[in-house]
Amino acid sequence: MNQAKNNTYTIAQLGHAVLRLRALEVENILSDDCQQLIDKMMLAVSEAGGVGIAAPQIHHSLRIFIMCSKPNVRYPDAPLMPPTAIINPEILHYSSEKVKDWEGCLSVPSMRGLVPRHSQITVRYFDQQGHEQQKELTGFIARIFQHELDHLNGLTFIDQLESTKDLISEFEWYQQFAKTL
């Protein structure tokens, strides 16, 4: 079975209805429910070895995701950043340049796709303490943000592919492209 699960979460897999919903805005970031969900998401992404996870992936249709880039087997060149809660995010500006790179997803564990993403974005969101943030993101961090925001809009990386020829099994991706740490 390719589902990460423990007593507090199961990661929704491709085909589950929650992954196709537009997630709802978070009304009260500082509520106990919201803070507990963020804690659960931090645990889920850590245990699953991901670089990000969106609330819909653990069956909560809310506009929250966690970004936690770090080098690992799936993304050996990923930059290091602390786990960060991103709440009610939006992209204010996209660069015209797009870059194709390989993406995987905890909700699509057996596949990888060569996905075009904007190389630079300006974003606005609220942090876990309820403070508004505005940042410019580039490279892999911008890719994570766009990937996770797609989840909040009912999309997966597969929806962003230019062609099904850009889709490969995780097994073949490791055989052909994976680097060792």
148 a catalytic residue: yes
**Residue 176 and residue 150: Cα distance in Å, rounded?**
27
- The label of the residue with tokens 């300006």 reads 122
**Residue 144 and residue 155: Cα distance in Å, rounded?**
14
Q: What is the largest CA-CA distance in the chain?
A: 46
60 is in an annotated binding site: no
Q: Residues 25, 148, 162, 172: which is the catalytic one? A: 148
66 close to 41: Cβ distance less than 8 angstroms: yes
CA-closest candidate to residue 173, choices 110, 98, 107, 105? 110
59 is in an annotated binding site: no
CA angle 78, 84, 90 (to 5 degrees): 95
What are the tokens at 38? 């963020």
147 is in an annotated binding site: yes
Q: Summarize the annotated binding site for Fe cation as residue ranges.
A: 105, 147, 151
Task: Give the active site residues.
Answer: 148
